[in-house]
Amino acid sequence: MSDLSERIAERVISIPDYPRKGVIFRDIMPIAADAELFHDIIAELAARHTGERIDRVVAIESRGFVFGGALANELKCGFTPIRKAGKLPRETIRETYQLEYGEGTIELQKDALAPGARVILVDDLLATGGTVNAAIRLIQRLGAEVTAADFVIELGFLSPRSNIRGCSRIHTLLTYD
């Protein structure tokens, strides 16, 4: 495990039986509160895209916004949010998907991405891949290309990478096996 992974692991707080029995919630907010660690995470994610043409960072609500906005700033590109259903004010497209403990629906504004835009998808945690696949489908429906997906944490024991379609470059900084 790298130094950065170890530092992330030290800050993550695991909360058993939240939001329901049998689920271990990984609270990443202490990572964001540590200015040096947060900076290093964003620098590492940005370094993985050095020399690439990236038009937009697209992040998934809500904890993905924490990292996605900062990464977009570092890469000097635009930021686009994917939100839960009913949160965006203009015309949207939507996708429904299965979560590890339920079902969800996310939306993207119809004019959020230009056809051919090169996008990095960002979220805090990769679990089953359901949310990521829904986000990729939304992005592709607008004609944009997901060049990579970046996550701070991956729940490797759920084998999410084998479920992801439409993005072959997946980066994580800490994996729980």
Given 74, 100, 141, 161, which residue is catalytic?
A: 100
Q: What is the DSSP letter of 135?
A: H
Q: How many CB atoms sit inside 10 A of residue 55's CB? A: 19
Of 136, 116, 132, 134, the residue nearest 124 (C-alpha): 132
- Which residues have a Cβ under 8 Å from the Cβ of 15 and sit 6 or more positions away? 24, 25, 26, 27
Note if 83 is an active site residue: no
DSSP 3-state of 43: helix
Given 7, 26, 56, 63, which residue is catalytic?
A: 63
Note if 56 is an active site residue: no
- Which residues have a Cβ under 8 Å from the Cβ of 23 and sit 6 or more positions away? 16, 17, 100, 101
Catalytic machinery residues: 63, 100
